[in-house]
Amino acid sequence: MKLLAVIETSAPLSSLYHIMPSFPWFGMDIGGTLVKLVYFEPKDITAEEEQEEVENLKSIRRYLTSNTAYGKTGIRDVHLELQDLTLCGRTGNLHFIRFPTHDLPAFLQMGRNKHFSSLHTTLCATGGGAYKFESDFRTMADLQLHKLDELDCLIRGVLYIDSVVSSGPSECYYFENPTDPDRCIQKPYTLENPYPLLLVNIGSGVSILAVYSETNYKRVTGTSLGGGTFLGLCCLLTGCSTFEEALEMASQGESTRVDKLVRDIYGGNYERFGLPGWAVASSFGNMMSKDKRESVSKEDLARATLVTITNNIGSITRMCALNENIERVVFVGNFLRVNTLSMKLLAYAMDYWSKGQLKALFLQHEGYFGAVGALLELLHPA
Amino acid sequence: MAEWSGLHSSTSRHTMDKSITLPPDEIFRNLENAKRFAIDIGGSLTKLAYYSTVQHKVAKVRSFDHATKTEMVDELYEISVQEEVTARLHFIKFENAYIETCLDFVRDHLVNTDTKVIKATGGGAHKFKELIERKLGLRVDKEDEMTCLIKGCNFVLRNIPHEAFVYAKHADSEFRFQTTQPDIFPYLLVNIGSGVSIVKVESEDKFERIGGSSIGGGTFWGLGALLTKTKRFDELLQLASKGQHTSVDMLVKDIYGGSYGSLGLTGDLIASSFGKSATADKGFPKEDMAKSLLHMISNDIGQLACLYAKLHNLSRVYFGGFFIRGHPVTMHTITYSINFFTKGEVQALFLRHEGYLGAIGAFLKGAEEDNPNQYSWGENYAGSSGLMSVSPDMNPMQRARSGTFDMLEMDRLERKLVNLPLLQDASSYIPDTVDLAEDALAREYWLYCFEEALDGVVKRALASQPDMPEAAERAEKFRQKYRHKLQTLRHQPFAYGSLTVRSLLDTREHCLNEFNFPDPYSKIKQRENDMALKYYQKVVKSLEELSWEERQFALIRGVLAGNVFDWGAKAVSDVLESEPEFGFEQAKRKLEGIPSISLLCGPPHKCALFFVDNSGLDIILGVMPFVRELLSRGTEVVLASNSAPALNDVTNGELQILTESIAAMDPVIQAGLREDRLTLVQSGSSSPCLDLSRLDKVLAMVVRERKTDLVIIEGMGRAIHTNYYAMLSCESLKMAVIKNSWLADRLGGKLFSVVFKYEVPAAGHDSEALTPP
């Protein structure tokens, strides 16, 4: 059903075998805030193989698959796990793990303790951290990184995951009736004929790519107002310290106490320019007044921050879509993780301001595509 | 002076707020004739606009009717000073805190107005509606803010040369002023108030808000106040200008360790605004957070502006609103952002009178029946404060208490001004040869020069009105005003756009007019004209005795010798003061390096346009014989002279009389006039310099009709200080005598060296400039 199969699975097994790298298979994406790790757990190991397998490899496999949390901050997103996946002729499960970038030293320490380097595996890594921490991998864990471009990996990952997910919840989805909060529901979407596509990756910062084919894409622009800005400002404004905390506060707040709306200025709609009264005229605009600063809650501030950042991304995205003449937009990145608020806002903004011309799409594995792309590079060097 | 007396009376002083005093001859001037009020009340500043008529003295010349006069008079014409009423627009900007005081003041000084309505715009118009109606007894009529803004923007772009500028923080001159474009449309106006509005303007009446953003000045202010506990907008900007954003922002190098080479993203680029404040469990300096916030907002606005500019294919993008308003900090960050996102393809443009746009627009809405757009208007340098008269970044605390007033005055010009049709490329034409803002050495010299000359000018002004007892007082006021202007320009060379010799001269003329010295040189011009006329026939006769070739040479020499007689040049005025008998022959001997080329050897030109300079020997013995030769060859001649006096330059009024008088002696000139082959037109200018993009509409029409194929520009002001590099689409000749030793040095010549620049377009023949002595 999918046109985007990146991996040619019909090739004879034998021909795949001799180019198949040795286990373990990892793909890694080291971002500004989070490290994303995908791990392929082979489930078709023969008895013969099992015997040959070194203890190290078994121990790593056991450690990763039998836990859902690693150390204080590492987490396996079990709900995203892809089972019975055939990769490079092997069948197994794909696991999705993340931990904060500032805990990378602890990860390297673990790699050293588990003698990861003795497995002689190539560690494919992307994201800025692949460059920044390359020497740390070498000196702390005796590991050689194979560095990959993050946008190449991102696109490869998106196209691959969308092509292989066939069971369970649809990888791609959208919100029906985005402008009606009561009727707004999540609906599966089939990404047939995906090109051209605007791909918006919201991590710490934001990159916007226009994708015309698997290999033909360009970075249209980016903005520094991204997930890192949301969390950074929330920490300063509310004293919170995690993304989850910030989101929780935002979900309980009211941004209209913080923002100045069109109706706050004009009493209603600004008819002359077709601006509805509910539209935000000035983000944080009410905070110019001392009285209003004293009357808002932390939750209100968190909500306003979320709304401001999300709407701004929506606005820049919409302009890029117009300039590039693309109607379909896929939003990915970890800013959207457990962040239905932002997704619905984006869906709304795309639909409303484009008068229904633009469609906002989302993917289940929102933040892991770069890491998946890195893994694919290990198996099938481009 | 009758018109001042009302203002000098102190009847209303006691009603005013004690914290400020309003000097009535400086602020809210000409209120007694004011009508058509408009007011724009913003978040912190109020801008009041009104139209008024100004009565001032003008010099007129009138021919003596020799036929009816029984006694013989020596003079050819009489000079009279007459009262003239002209229209002026006044705009005053002050802090909202003083609005009540100012309204009281306005009410107390309104004498004979039949105005019933005041146009109002701006966010504060609603809040102060009741106060305005009560204080002024006028009905407040609200106008749409955006419409006013756009109307005002069109008006300043069209009427004020050097209105728009590019801001370059680290350049020699921070402000790079743009020349006025013949067509100002289409453009994008990005108004950064509490939010951002992006407006596409396609014509005078057609504009559309194509987008906007909620992240604007209010976000900087509101979020900044939350983060730094600093309340005032100005103080937040101050904080930001001292901060380091790199401690708060996550840069590309924080993620990559260096640059992201394959995308061309350098390491110092911000990858995630406030990205570092998310991870670190610590406090940040206020300054750093303010700086990070400033970058975040400026970059975001710049990016959106670029996306809209690209989508609508617009390259002119003006920024305004309180976020920008004269703040170097935000002009810099916006400029940076635009450069980054368009890779230099689009320049961020700012406006000198940005703060007045709403008030101007509201005023124009109310004045539509007067058709203000059918006239040309000019910025009055004497009555306008200039850019950053109130520097918002200097000291916000001090500024908050001082109550400062900023003013803009625009005079309605008698004539509609247009481009010379013969400019090769009107959009790239720059009248001025040297931008003194960029050339510190030249600036120092000329400011010094004008200061040195001030006493002489005052003396001359006084001498021109011997019968008026209060002239001394006015002359003194003139001295103070002009000296103050020079001092301002020394510190803020950008105050009135590009600082040039022309602007310094024009400012002096505006100041002289302001204090009713319309023509300090009228008597000198009269004496010299009378004297020169006596020699006209002798000069013509001696020229006719020469061989053709010798005559061509002598004619050029004559024009150049005549051009020595320039009271505006110190080297000359010294000689003229000390040797009143200094004559034409002496002048010829002073000339250094006369070119020995003949201009008039080819087939005759169809029509020559001659921009003349001084009266007296220059026009009569230098220019006229040359004109005569042109006429004799069958070339039509258009003589363009100033509409109003400047130094000893011949005015159109004087030239009419002089030409008639010459025609009476010379059949060639007489035939030229009779057969309409010699035409006198006014240039529309009253400057010793010449801006070929602002000329009388009639002149442009005549030039077109006559198929002019030769332009002659004479004199230092018109051919060296301005137009030295002007490219024309037909043959041109620029000639002048350098009467300033500093300038002569600069150009590599001596005092009284000759500039003779003959240019033929396209083919590229250019017989070069300064002939070595």
Q: Is the peptide bond preceding residue B761 cis, with omega within 30 degrees of 0?
A: no
Which whole number is the average pLDDT over B248-263? Answer: 92
Q: In this predicted model, what pLDDT tens digit does every residue of A80-118 receive, in sequence order? A: 999 999 998 899 999 999 999 999 999 999 889 888 888
Tell if the CB–CB gap between A288 and B221 is shorter than 8 Å: yes
Tell if the CB–CB gap between B221 and A100 is shorter than 8 Å: no
Which whole number is the average pLDDT over A317-323? Answer: 97
Whether residue A355 lies within 8 A of chain B, CB to CB, comes out as no
pLDDT given at position A84: 93
Tell me the C-alpha distance between B522 and B82, whole Å. Answer: 13
Helix (H) or strand (E) holding B530: helix B522-544
Tell if the CB–CB gap between A131 and B249 is shorter than 8 Å: no
If one compares B182 and B312, the residue with the highest pLDDT of the two is: B312
Cα A250 from chain centroid? 20
Q: What does chain B come to in residues?
A: 773
Tell if the CB–CB gap between A32 and B308 is shorter than 8 Å: no
* CB-closest option in B225, B296, B304 to A224: B296
Q: Taking CA B190 as the corner, what is the angle to CA B186 and CA B196, rounded to the nearest 5 degrees? A: 145
Test mutation, B201, B214, B232, chain A, max A CBs within 10 A: B214
Q: In this predicted model, what pLDDT tens digit does every residue of B590-614 receive, in sequence order? A: 777 666 565 667 789 999 999 999 9
User: Which range, of A269-273, B98-102, B354-358, B369-373, averages the lowest pLDDT?
Assistant: B369-373
Q: Confidence band (pLDDT; 50, 70, 90) for B15? A: very low
User: Which range, of A170-184, A261-275, B152-166, averages the lowest pLDDT?
Assistant: A261-275
Whether residue A301 lies within 8 A of chain B, CB to CB, comes out as yes
Whether residue A285 lies within 8 A of chain B, CB to CB, comes out as yes
Model confidence at B502: pLDDT above 60: yes
ipTM of the predicted structure? 0.93
Q: In this predicted model, what pLDDT tens digit does every residue of B407-459 receive, in sequence order? A: 999 999 888 899 999 999 988 899 999 989 888 899 999 999 999 999 999 99
Which whole number is the average pLDDT over B729-754? Answer: 88
Question: Residues of chain B with pLDDT > 90: what percent?
Answer: 57
Q: Is the peptide bond preceding residue A196 cis, with omega within 30 degrees of 0?
A: yes
Whether residue A226 lies within 8 A of chain B, CB to CB, comes out as yes
Tell me the C-alpha distance between B25 and B481, whole Å. Answer: 12
DSSP per position, B624-674: HHHHHHHHHTT-EEEEEEBSS--TTBPBHHHHHHHHHHHHHH-HHHHHHHH
Residues 33-72 of A with CB under 8 A from B: 33
pLDDT given at position B400: 39
In eight-state DSSP terms, residue A275 is B
Q: Which residues of B621-637 are buried (b: 16+ CB within 10 A; e: fewer)?
A: bbbbbbbbbbbeeebbb
Tell me the C-alpha distance between A308 and A295, whole Å. Answer: 19
pTM: 0.88
Q: Confidence band (pLDDT; 50, 70, 90) for A126? A: very high
pLDDT given at position B25: 65
> Can you tell me whether residue B86 is helix, strand or coil?
strand
Strands B270-272 and B250-251: antiparallel
Q: Confidence band (pLDDT; 50, 70, 90) for B1? A: very low
pLDDT given at position A273: 84
Q: Confidence band (pLDDT; 50, 70, 90) for A29? A: very high
Model confidence at A21: pLDDT above 50: yes
Task: Please provide the average confidence, as pLDDT, over all residues in chain B.
Answer: 86
Nearest CA in chain A to B122: A265
